[in-house]
Chains A and B, each alone.
Chain A
Amino acid sequence: MKKQKSGLTFFQKVVKYRTLLLMCLPAIIFFFAFNYMPLPGIWVAFVRYNYRDGIFGSQFIGLDNFKFLMTSGKLLELTRNTILYNLVFILLGNFLAVFVAILLNEIRSKWFRKVSQTIMFLPYFISQVLVGFLVFNLLNYDTGFVNGVLTSLGLEKWQPYATAGVWPVILVIVYLWQQTGYNSVVYFASIMGIDGEIIEAAKVDGANGFQKILYIILPSLRGTIVILLLFALGGIVKGNFGLFYNVVGSNPMLYPTTDIIETYVYRSTLVDFNFSRASAVGLYQSVIGFVIVMTVNFIVKKIEPDYSLF
């Protein structure tokens, strides 16, 4: 059978597998239309775009758009913000997720566990718009819940929307609040997959609760943790646009600590209509992101070939 297959020409294969090819066709067209068609448009990063001449008719200016972003220091600021936020999100996010998964596993009441998992999952299901509004409701100056409590205690009101320095903390908390329920699911599932007999044996040998976690559960999670961390690091230059855009809003006072690549590209595209600059930043991000993912995949392939992407 194998011999017969390799003997077919490309055209014969197409004819023989036409039904399966047709089944893939809608998806092929979809990704062509929405993901491959925009690729030639990257050219806009190298021109001074104007509507009349279009992407390919506008004046070619080489790397000037990139030079501007470099010399103004904007690119550095955006990259720093994006990477630092993601690093904290990834490290704290996974730490908290493992922590919660281990504690959930210790809870024996099925009812309690089910209800608490459902509640922890809740923030993941709502739109980013609502997340932004929930935060606004807690923190805003006039009617925010926190300021309501502060006032009733006779304390002075707090103005986070005018204080750039507090936003890294707020954004990390909001991120953890929204994602931990989701992230802990994977870890909880791998704890559930641990052979119960190993834990039994450890107990017979007199292992206490801490030893059980330290020497059985954590080591058995190590593979999952490493893989999930590596893949998360692969996306380290991709910012969480929905979170930043909805929670922070367009508030220039807060840009120094909250402007990430995505928010800058969005503003340049939809507010300033500076497509060339937006595309320059976008291309820079795509290229760096691509290199990082390839590196991560290379590393994963070395340590755990089964999990590599390709």
Chain B
Amino acid sequence: MAKKDLDLMDSGAKIKLGTSDKIIRGFGYVFVTLYCICCIIPFIIIVSSSFTSETVIRAEGAQLIPKDFTLEAYNMVAKGGGIWKSYVLTILLTVVGTFLGLAIISMTGYALQRKDFPFRNAISFYIYFTSLFSAGLAPYYLLMTQTYHLQDSYLAVLLPLMMSPWLIILMKNFVKAIPHEITESGKIDGAGDMKIFTSLILPMIKPALATIGLFLALGYWNEWYQSSLFLSAKVDVKPLQYTLYEIVNKIDALRNSVAGQYVTLTDIPQQSVKMANAVLATGPIILLYPFVQRYFISGITVGAVKG
């Protein structure tokens, strides 16, 4: 429908185009172009600087256009080697977490939109209430570390990111669009609820699975918060973004520590190496995202107002 409207507006625009239309349109192009440049410049600086030698960065600051071209920083990252282990860990967490999360969220979303399910309001409220009132960080931290003993465990990262009330409501709204007759026809054929869900409903909600799966995967890929709470120095390999956090903030930590005054320059990660790490930690998601963007957009528009 949106597409049809768009075409209508297109044809209208061709018929007559007043001065004010031209002004607005011209302003639109200029403003949007400038805005896009602002969006992308910080990224270009990082990428350019990661290919710039340390001496140039020290002397002249981060570069928009590299003055010289060198792979020095990337060689150093490759020699260090730590980031590849973080890659493997992050990919594992993302795949396992997204898969489990999707399975649970889709089952729950389906059950909660079934109009004949008498507990649907009670369970919906039980889930939704968690976003209205929370115990706060300190009780959560004490529970995770002292009762569940999840300090330094990857489970402390994997589990809490697996679902959220918002994602369940989003799934519910997606599944609602499927006519109830599908479920009815399954029942007439004698299929149980689980069978109806797996063989009739699941194939029909592929776009919803893609959208919610991407939100989950993005959450895991960009995760640093749970890691900062629960993964101490005892854990060698940490998720990618938290590894990046430690690398880029190391210099501050050294400066603040008493021992800092005895630290030699070689212990401090070089600027160009930080940039290379940032490029490597973010690269995959940026390369992937133009292809998956439309699923996010559908998720935002479906889930924007409700929830």
Contacts and interface: CB of A to CB of B under 8 A. Distances in A.
Interface of A: 5, 8, 13, 17, 19-21, 23-24, 26-28, 30-31, 33-42, 44-45, 54-55, 100, 103-104, 106-108, 112, 115-123, 125-130, 132-138, 142-145, 147-149, 151-152, 177, 180-182, 185-186, 189, 192-197, 199-200, 203, 208-211, 213, 224, 227-228, 231, 241-242, 246, 249-250, 265-266, 268-270, 275-276, 278-279, 281-283, 285-286, 289-290, 293-294, 307, 309-310
Contacts of A40: 139
Contacts of B58: 142-143
Contact of B32 (A5, A42, A100): A100
Contacts of A54: 146
The dominant DSSP class at the A interface is helix
Interface of B: 1-2, 4-10, 12-13, 15-16, 18-25, 27-29, 31-33, 35-36, 38-40, 42-43, 45-46, 49, 57-58, 60-64, 104-105, 107-108, 110-112, 114, 116-119, 123, 125-128, 130, 132-143, 146-148, 159-160, 162-163, 165, 168, 192-194, 197, 218, 221-225, 228-229, 241-242, 244-245, 248-249, 252, 271, 274-275, 278, 281-282, 285-286, 289-290, 293, 296-297, 300-301, 304-307
A209 B24 contact: yes
Contact of A196 (B9, B194, B275): B9
A133 B246 CA distance: 11
Contacts of B9: 196, 199-200
B140 A38 contact: yes
Given A54-B146, A196-B6, A209-B20, 8 more contacts: A104-B32, A122-B39, A137-B45, A143-B271, A185-B297, A265-B137, A269-B138, A309-B128
B21 A209 contact: yes
B27 A103 contact: yes
A260 B125 CA distance: 30
A213 B9 CA distance: 13
A275 B138 contact: yes
Nearest to B288: A125
B61 A147 contact: yes
15 contacts: A20-B111, A24-B107, A27-B168, A30-B104, A30-B159, A30-B163, A31-B126, A39-B135, A45-B138, A151-B61, A193-B2, A196-B8, A208-B21, A209-B18, A209-B22
Contact of B301 (A121, A137, A185): A185
Contacts of A116: 32-33, 35-36
Nearest to A249: B252
Nearest to A235: B131
Given A143-B271, A194-B5, A213-B24, A126 B222 contact: yes
Given A23-B193, A203-B16, A209-B24, A290 B39 contact: no
Nearest to B13: A108
Contacts of A126: 222, 282, 285-286
B137 A189 contact: no
Contacts of A136: 248
Contact of A185 (B2, B5, B126, B300): B300
Residue among B1, B27, B36, B114 with most chain A CB within 10 A: B36
A242 to B, nearest CB: 7
A95 to B, nearest CB: 14
Nearest to B195: A19
B18 A208 contact: yes
B135 A282 contact: yes
Nearest to B135: A38
A17 B119 contact: yes
Nearest to A161: B252
B249 A249 contact: yes
Given A119-B40, A148-B60, A23 B132 contact: no
Nearest to A110: B6
B271 A120 contact: no
A303 B38 CA distance: 38
Contact of B12 (A106, A189, A200, A289): A200
A231 to B, nearest CB: 8
B62 A137 contact: yes
Nearest to A181: B39
Nearest to B197: A23
Given A103-B27, A148-B60, A203-B16, A138 B143 contact: no
Residue among B15, B61, B290 with most chain A CB within 10 A: B61
Contacts of B18: 208-209
B8 A197 contact: yes
B134 to A, nearest CB: 6
Contacts of A36: 130
Contacts of B32: 100, 103-104, 107, 112, 116
A28 B229 contact: no
A240 B281 CA distance: 22
A133 B248 contact: yes
A38 B139 CA distance: 5
B136 A120 contact: no
A74 to B, nearest CB: 16
Contacts of A120: 35-36, 39
Residue among A100, A148, A213, A307 with most chain B CB within 10 A: A148
A14 to B, nearest CB: 8
Nearest to B306: A307
Nearest to A287: B133
Residue among B15, B43, B159, B286 with most chain A CB within 10 A: B43
Given A104-B28, A126-B282, A279 B139 contact: yes
Nearest to B147: A37
B224 A128 contact: yes
Contacts of B245: 129, 246
